[in-house]
Structure formats: structure tokens, C-alpha cells
Structure 1
Amino acid sequence: MSHKTLLRTGPLLPGGASPYGSLGLPGAGGLALPSGFTGRVVARSGHKIAGLTWHMAPDGGACFPDGDGWIYVSNSELPLLGGASALRFRADGSVGDAYRILSGTDLNCAGGATPWHSWLSCELGHRGRVFECDPYGARAGRPRLAMGRFKHEAAACDPERGVVYMTEDEPDGCFYRFRPGDWGDLTEGTLEVLCSSGRWRVVPSPAALLQETRHQVEDARHFDGGEACHYAGEVCYFTTKGDTGLWAYDAQTSTLDRLCEGVRAITAAPSGDLYVARETMQIDVIAPDRAVTPFLRLEGHEGAELTGLAFSPRGDRLYFSARRGRAEGHTFEVTGPFRG
């Protein structure tokens, strides 16, 4: 079932029966899960994992195929020492390797995976950059400066239109899209901003040397702290942390809809379900029929934020981190009978 059903059939419907049943008592790491699901901590900030000291402040993440295994990539939202690291999983779910894929960058918050299996790591600092990284660790990360210099939060690729959507973490931040000259090569292209009219207009100076990108186009539409971003089924979903909103931009009809409040991070499962991290240390599932029900609850991590939601390539494992500010964090894996 298409994600468009989620967007076009009316308001979200909180409550009702969960597709996975009620949550059980908290278990390993404080996870309360439905019957049939198990959870574990796969990495913890400051602790060794496969020879690597896992980074502080884990934030945005994504999974990539790797033979009969897979890779989970995670950003580090630390000043000056941010970057990103990767966990390589074997077919049986054990961690076979851990390594850095980006170092020496600033406040790497969220990002996004590309269809050609690279990771876009976004810097949150003033005039932040987007770095294209190799999750397999064979090539050094490269800045993609044509994608603009601003407080980058997240990115999401739209292969149907050959563009990359991006959010901006400012109280009056904008929603952008980058149109590369050649799809698959992000070194050159055109940066555009969504306007109040619903149209996209070119940002005159993406380098923002004299004027910030969000102030260069008079009719640009502004959002209260753009945050997570995910594209699925011709819809780009993004969140705004200032008002905790979940938005849906329908790329086919060029329409924007605000779906609900109280959401910080988001991903999609192969089934068409959306998984959204709440401010209440809970992850909910939003089914294609717009029913909203709890999927998991995390206890014993008061004051933390849930980040980096991502499904393994087969869709049978969900990864996320719980982090306290720009300090320690725990990276979790949940395994079970997710809907296909």
C-alpha cells in the first residue's frame, strides 16, 4: 500500500489496536516491546565495540546492504569532533567490525542515505556543510558545497525527480531541495527553496558569504527548526522541533500537509508503515490507514532523545539511539516479526 494513502485520507487516528499487540514489561536496556520482539544495546558511547570507541552524542543513522550482512551508520553531534561511525553486522546479527567513516567535522546531526549507497552527513553549525561518506569505509568523506552552507539537519533523496530534500535547524529555517546536474553526482547542481506559493525558487548564493540562504528569497516559507527528513512513496516527511510537527510534502502534487505534533525523528518500514520517535521516549507506528499506535517504550533513560531510526535492508531489525544532549548515548537494535 502506498504512503500516499497516509497523506491523503484525512486526519491521523490515534489509538486503536496495534498491529503488534500491547507492550510488555521493560526488558534489556529498558525496552518495553510487543510479544515476539527482542531488543539489545549494540553500542554505547565511550565503550569499545569491535575495537572502536563508540562516539558521543549519536544522532542520525541509516542502514546499507553488505553482502549477506548489513551496515548501520551513525552521526556524532559533537562540536569539532563530530563525524560518523559505522557498525558492520554479519548475517547472524553479530558485529564483525566498527570504524569511522568521517572525522574532524562539526556537529554532525542527521543526514540521509542515497540510492547509490552513500551517506550524507549534515553539519549543524553555522554555515554547515553536507559530506558525502562511504559507509563501507573505502573512501574518505567529501564536502558537497553546492548543496548550500547553512545549519543542515537532515537530507532525503527523491529518485523519481532526481532531487535531495534538506531541512534547516533555525527558528525560521527553510525546506530546500538540491537538483544535481547529474543524478548520482552531488558535486554540482542547483539549490532551491520551497516558497509560500508552493513553488520552488533558486537560492541565488548557496555559499551564503554575504546573506544566509534562508533570507535570500523573499517568498521563502519558514519552519520552526527543521529536523528529521525521510522520503518514501513520493512523499517527503519531515519534522520541526520548535513545534514538534510532522509534515508531509507530496512531491507529485506539490502540496504540504501537517500531520501531527510531538514527533522528533522518523523512518519508514518496507511495509509502508512510518515509525516516529516521540518526545515521550516512545516510538509509534503510523499505518497506511493513518492509525497511530505505540510500538515501543524506553524506560530508565530520562532526559534522552531518540535519534537515528533506520531499518535493516531486509526490514527485520530497527536501529535507533537514545542520547542525552551532546553527551553519552546508547544505540539499540530491535528484532522481530515486522510487517513485510
Structure 2
Amino acid sequence: MERRGFLRVAVVGGAAAAFGGASWGQAFAAGAQPGASPYGGLLAADGNGIRLPAGFTSRVVARSGQKVAGTNYTWHPAPDGGACFADGSGWIYVSNSEVSGTGGVGAVRFDAQGRITGAYRTLANTNVNCAGGATPWNTWLSCEEVSDGQVYETDPWGVNPAVVRPAMGRFKHEACAVDAEHGYVYLTEDVADGCLYRFRPTTWGDLGSGTLQVMRGGTATSGPVTWATVPDPDGSPTATRYQVSGAKRFNGGEGCYYADGTCWFTTKGDNRVWAYDATASTLSLTYDDSLVSGGAPPLTGVDNITGAANGDLFVAEDGGNLEICVITPAGVVAPFLRVGGQSGSEITGPAFSPAGDRLYFSSQRGTSGSSSGGITYEVTGPFRR
């Protein structure tokens, strides 16, 4: 696996020296702090109402309720979590639909030049499909954000039918991230007293059976943690988060992303970005908006999260001023882009193309503030790689 320079915020010995001395040691106590963006400041809004750094451009890929250009697929309402998959010399972007009863997943296919060549459904008539995660075997896990929600494994090419994965638990799912190094899938739970889970398949690459575990630990924001098996992943009559004594609580689990030994996840109730070191089994804080020093926090309403090849994390806002913020390996957090005129929406589904030069994301409710007004964008430019 490619080695990447992801930041390690908090309790690891020697971390301050790795990033240049005592000043970083002090900053680690509060996590990432505001600073100058490596991309520079945001310019005036472009024709799509998006403020970007110099050298970047945006385009609209799809709008809810309208046919995707050159295709017969009507883009779904409330686009949410998404991911990109390599498709020969092109790629596919998949996107959830976070609506009740008629949710699911849609996909847009691009050629090597970024031209749209197709669009289609890969999952239909499921319930409040919020986020999810991509697998190394090229499937998309779409998660239902309802109290008895399930995980559906879908085919980004739309060839194989979607399969529900009940062994991964029934709870208010949000996102998941696959850790191929240790053989787990991590899952977040979007309730105020939610948990972080991990699922170990019986056979790697087959999510049909396995063991669901929940993180155990006290109230500390850093230190060692343990895991315990959830006795009844079906969550009935006792919800999964209440089945294990000492399960660690997280206030509204949101995005989840794994890279280079670390599972990064966000919690919206306290505007935090967490880092779980999968090798050491330790937890730490990467960002906490209440611990930002020297002014207003640049990142609020934390939600979906993804990463670039160089180690930058990109965190989307649900609320705030509708930004995607970057957190650099040096521990600097700064706006990367801002969407204007859409205060009734949220930013969802950030994902990079396989080459890392295009970022896809959606404004879930667009300018209308309604699930029928979603807009999916592409940003192209000199991303750090």
C-alpha cells in the first residue's frame, strides 16, 4: 500500500518532533488549528456560485429531477454520500439518495477526458441512504440512516444486483470505511449517544457473515480503547449500542474514511474529527471546533470526510457556511471551497477521481432547500498529490 503522510494528532510520543518542535506539541492538545490554506485564499464566486482557490474550476454534473446530460437517467433527489471507482481509463461516481422509501444509489460514468458517458440506478427503494463507503473489491456500501437501517452492497457498474448485509448490524447507519490492512469495516452511527463499530467478515471480501464489534472506552478523547462483540447485530429488542457495557459514546457519528493505518471519522454533535490508530488501538482528536484558538473555527457542522493521496483530509460541512475544509498533515485547517446562496442545504459526498485531479461533491438541497433541488458538482484543478 502507498505510504501517506497523514497527520497524527494527540497522544503519540514524539509527535511534536515529527512536525517541528514544541509549538506543534502544544497545538496537538487542541488538534488541528486554523492557518493559511496550502491552496491560497478563496476567489470570488464562479458562475456556479462556488468560491475556489486560484487554478480551480467547477461544473455542474447533475441536478435532482433532471436527466443527466446525454443520458436517460433522472438524477435522484437529496444526493448524499459518494465515491469514485476506476473504470478502464475513465471512472464512475456513485451517489446515495437520502429520501424515505424511494432512496438508493445512482451512478455517473465518465471517460478518460471527464465526459459523461452514462448514468443509471444501482439500488432502488431503500430508506434514507445517507453515506457509506467503497470496498477494495470495487463495490459501494450504501447505509440506511434509520433506526433499523441496514447496509446494502451495490455494484457501481449496475450489472450485479444489490445485496443487503444484515450481519453488519441494524442501527442508524451513517458511513463506513474498509481497513484491508487489519481486515475490518468501520461503521459510524448517527445518534446523540451512538457508537463506533467494526465488522470482521468471516471470509475477507464476503460481507455475508462475520462478527460485529463495538468500541469500548471511557469519556476521554484520547488513549487506548478496546472492542467487544455485539451479541445481537439485529438490534431487536435491544439496540446494538446498548448491548455492551462500557461502549464508548459518540455524539452523532457522520463521515468515515480509512487510510494508512488510521480510521478518521466525524461527529456532528460536537464538531469533532477523530482518529483511530488501528495498529495501536488508540483514539485521538484531530479537530475540535471548541478548542480552536485565535478566532472563529473555520470548520463547523462536520459531516462527510475523504482524503487526498498526499494526506490532506477534506471535510464537508452540514451547515456552517457550506464549505469543504482541508486539514493538512501539518495540522492546519482552512477552507478549500465555499458554496454560496444555498443556506438551506448541506455539502455531501466528497470523493476524488482515481487520478486525484477532480473532486466530486453535492449540495444536497441546492438553492431550493428541498430534496428535489440537489446539485452534484465536479471541481478540477491542481490538487496536492
Partner of 1:301: 342
- Alignment of 1:68 with 2:68, yes or no, is no
The question of whether the paired residues in 2 share the 8 Å contact of 1:4 and 1:234 is answered with no
- Alignment of 1:260 with 2:301, yes or no, is no
The question of whether the paired residues in 1 share the 8 Å contact of 2:7 and 2:328 is answered with no
SS at match of 1:332: strand
Within 2, Cα distance between the matches of 1:252 and 1:4?
A: 15
The question of whether the paired residues in 2 share the 8 Å contact of 1:238 and 1:248 is answered with yes
Within 1, Cα distance between the matches of 2:65 and 2:264?
A: 32
Partner of 2:50: 31
Partner of 2:18: none
The question of whether the paired residues in 2 share the 8 Å contact of 1:5 and 1:289 is answered with no
Per-residue CA deviations over 1:60-102 (Å, capped at 9, x if unaligned) read 0000000110000000011000000000011111110000000
Per-residue CA deviations over 1:213-265 (Å, capped at 9, x if unaligned) read 01101111111111111111211111112222211111111111122232222
Instruction: Summarize the Cα distance change of 1:4–1:16 in structure 2 as closer, same or farther, 3 Å threshold.
Output: closer
Partner of 1:323: 364
**Displacement, 1:13?**
4.5
Partner of 1:177: 198
SS at match of 2:241: helix
SS at match of 1:53: coil
The question of whether the paired residues in 2 share the 8 Å contact of 1:4 and 1:233 is answered with no
Richer in strand (by share)? 1
TM-score calculated relative to the size of structure 2: 0.86
**Displacement, 1:3?**
1.4
1:238 aligned to which of 250, 258, 265: 265
Q: Please identify, of 72-81 and 260-269, the stretch whose mean Cα deviation from structure 2 is larger.
A: 260-269
Instruction: Summarize the Cα distance change of 1:113–1:290 in structure 2 as closer, same or farther, 3 Å threshold.
Output: same
Partner of 1:223: 250
TM-score calculated relative to the size of structure 1: 0.97
- Alignment of 1:106 with 2:106, yes or no, is no
1:3 aligned to which of 1, 6, 27: 6
**Displacement, 1:138?**
0.7
Q: How many matched pairs?
A: 340
Per-residue CA deviations over 1:255-277 (Å, capped at 9, x if unaligned) read 11122232222110011111112
SS at match of 1:178: strand
Within 2, Cα distance between the matches of 1:205 and 1:21?
A: 50
- Alignment of 1:119 with 2:140, yes or no, is yes
Counterpart AA for 2:242: H
Counterpart AA for 2:6: H
Q: Please identify, of 254-263 and 46-55, the stretch whose mean Cα deviation from structure 2 is larger.
A: 254-263
The question of whether the paired residues in 1 share the 8 Å contact of 2:352 and 2:360 is answered with yes
SS at match of 1:52: coil
Per-residue CA deviations over 1:277-323 (Å, capped at 9, x if unaligned) read 23321111111111112211111111210010100011000011111
Partner of 2:238: 211
Within 2, Cα distance between the matches of 1:281 and 1:208?
A: 35
Within 1, Cα distance between the matches of 2:272 and 2:304?
A: 10
Counterpart AA for 1:226: G
Partner of 1:275: 314
Structure 1's unaligned 5+ residue stretches are: none
SS at match of 2:274: strand
The question of whether the paired residues in 1 share the 8 Å contact of 2:7 and 2:330 is answered with no
Partner of 1:312: 353
Partner of 1:292: 333
1:56 aligned to which of 62, 77, 84: 77
**Displacement, 1:35?**
1.0
Q: Please identify, of 15-24 and 302-311, the stretch whose mean Cα deviation from structure 2 is larger.
A: 15-24
Give the 5 Å matches for 1:117-196. 117-196=138-217
Within 2, Cα distance between the matches of 1:245 and 1:6?
A: 12
Structure 2's unaligned 5+ residue stretches are: 16-27, 219-224, 290-299
**Displacement, 1:210?**
1.7
Partner of 2:59: 40
**Displacement, 1:4?**
4.5
Cα RMSD for the two superposed structures: 1.4
Counterpart AA for 2:374: G
Within 2, Cα distance between the matches of 1:28 and 1:120?
A: 34
The question of whether the paired residues in 2 share the 8 Å contact of 1:6 and 1:287 is answered with no
